[in-house]
């Protein structure tokens, strides 16, 4: 296995492939309904739905950096943390659409990664401060961090 294969394996396991560490990001939201996804543990805290969009946004951002694409094509207004639930955003259809967006952003990112040459892994993309390999290992860690956060929120929801 070369470094690119290892990175793709880590990205896959952190998102939706079986791995030794337990639940990945896709698994953490599997079967969640709108009510569970939009529940907040506190009025000032994010809900699962917002975490899902946050993860989608960063997959979009990493892909954009890898391909040196301009900003502005993410389908929701805002960046990083996009408010979800309330103010006309309150349906199961909208939740399901945003889950599909996460999956689509992941697939698009994975396709961009698979096109990289080994030399590009050590390069620093335009408008970035770290190497491509750091960005890619970081996005895998990002998925796992938020998968754990979602697992905790699900347990808190069950105890409310």
User: How many distinct structural domains can be found in the chain?
Assistant: 1
| Per-residue tens of pLDDT for the chain, all 160 residues | 899 999 999 999 999 999 888 999 999 999 999 999 999 999 999 999 999 999 999 999 999 999 988 888 899 888 899 887 666 667 888 999 999 999 999 999 999 999 999 999 999 988 889 999 999 999 999 999 999 999 999 999 999 9
Give the domain range for residue 144.
3-159
Q: Is 5 exposed, middle or buried (0-12, 13-18, 19+ CB in 10 A)?
A: exposed
Query: Residue 133 belongs to a domain with what CATH number?
Result: 1.20.120.450
What's this model's pTM, rounded to 2 decimal places? 0.94
> What is the C-alpha to C-alpha distance for residues 142 and 139, in angstroms, rounded to an integer?
5
């Amino acid at each position: 296995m070369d470094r690119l294969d290892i990175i793709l394996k880590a990205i896959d396991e952190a998102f939706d492939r079986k791995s030794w560490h337990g639940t990945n990001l896709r698994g953490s939201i599997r079967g969640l309904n709108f009510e569970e996804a939009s529940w907040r543990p506190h009025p000032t805290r994010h809900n699962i739905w917002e975490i899902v969009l946050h993860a989608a946004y960063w997959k979009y951002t990493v892909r954009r950096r890898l391909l040196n694409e301009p900003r502005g094509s993410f389908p929701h207004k805002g960046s990083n943390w996009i408010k979800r639930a309330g103010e006309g955003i309150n349906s199961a259809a909208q939740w399901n659409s945003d889950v599909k967006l996460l999956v689509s952003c992941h697939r698009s990112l994975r396709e961009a990664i698979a096109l990289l040459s080994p030399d590009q892994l050590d390069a620093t993309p335009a408008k970035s401060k770290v190497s491509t390999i750091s960005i890619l290992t970081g996005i895998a860690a990002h998925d796992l961090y938020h998968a754990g956060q979602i697992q905790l929120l699900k347990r808190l929801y069950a105890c409310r």
